[in-house]
Amino acid sequence: MWLNASSSLRFPTAFVSNERKVELHGEAYFEVAQRANQPFFVQVDGMQVQVLGTEFNVMAYDNEQWVKTSLLKGAVKVSSGSNTTPVMKPGQQARLTGAGNLLVSNDPFIEDVAAWKEGMFVFNNEALDGIMRQLSRWYNVEVDFTSNGLKKKLFTGQIARNENLSEVLKMLELTDAVHFRIENATVAVMP
């Protein structure tokens, strides 16, 4: 299991019952061995992932619109309240909406959801507000948009996570669509 920035995992000191259950806040990538006599569950805000021997990513930050489970290998089932997905196949993503609905879709960029584990930010038509939430968590900064119109500007690209924040922002500025100013621990996003 790998934890992303601003994430935590709660688990018992030993799995002694007939199930293995962990509680996630934030984002984590899991590689779980299947044990029929001791299933593995990930509990996140309003969603539970039942693992059937697999590799998957769960993203459940408080400031994100959806809780997402992305399946890279193997199989999982996702449930929320009385809603349960069918067994998911690799390449699918389950999203829990704010209204409590579970939506499953194919994601052609499924490998990119775990790029953070390999030290990369990967954006495929990602809105700037989503990019800035990721940068905020990784670099521990606040973000201030001077114009709400900037939030929905789309970006595509890859940036190494070991770059300094100022270098990452310079790369985003190459589009001429946006500019940044860093003051103390706040990044101002400007036209």
**pLDDT at residue 81 is higher than 90:** no
Q: Is residue 72 part of a domain?
A: yes
**Helices 128-139 & 165-173 angle (0-180, nearest 10):** 170
Cβ-count burial 20-48 (b if 16+ within 10 Å, e if not): bebebbbbbbbebeeeeeebbebebeebb
What CATH number is given to the structural domain containing 144?
3.55.50.30
The phi, psi pair for 120, rounded to 5°, reads -130, 145
Question: In the predicted model, what is the mean pLDDT of the chain?
Answer: 92
pLDDT confidence band for 161 (50 / 70 / 90)? very high
Residues 14 and 73 in one domain: yes
More confident residue, 36 or 1: 1
**pLDDT at residue 175 is higher than 90:** no
pLDDT confidence band for 162 (50 / 70 / 90)? very high
Residues 145 and 54 in one domain: no
Residues 26 and 104 in one domain: yes
What CATH number is given to the structural domain containing 27?
2.60.120.1440
Residues 30 and 102 in one domain: yes
Residues 88 and 69 in one domain: yes
Q: How far apart are CA 3 and CA 24, in angstroms?
A: 9
Output DSSP code: residue 164.
Answer: -
Q: Is residue 43 part of a domain?
A: yes
Give the model confidence (pLDDT) of 124-137 as tens digits.
Answer: 999 999 999 999 99
Give the model confidence (pLDDT) of 111-157 as tens digits.
Answer: 899 999 999 999 999 999 999 999 999 999 999 998 888 999 999 99
Domain of residue 66: give its range.
2-108
Per-residue model confidence (pLDDT) at position 52:
86
Q: Which of 99, 118, 34, 29 is nearest to 69 (CA)?
A: 29
Residues 11 and 102 in one domain: yes
Residues 26 and 102 in one domain: yes
Q: How many domains are there within the chain?
A: 2
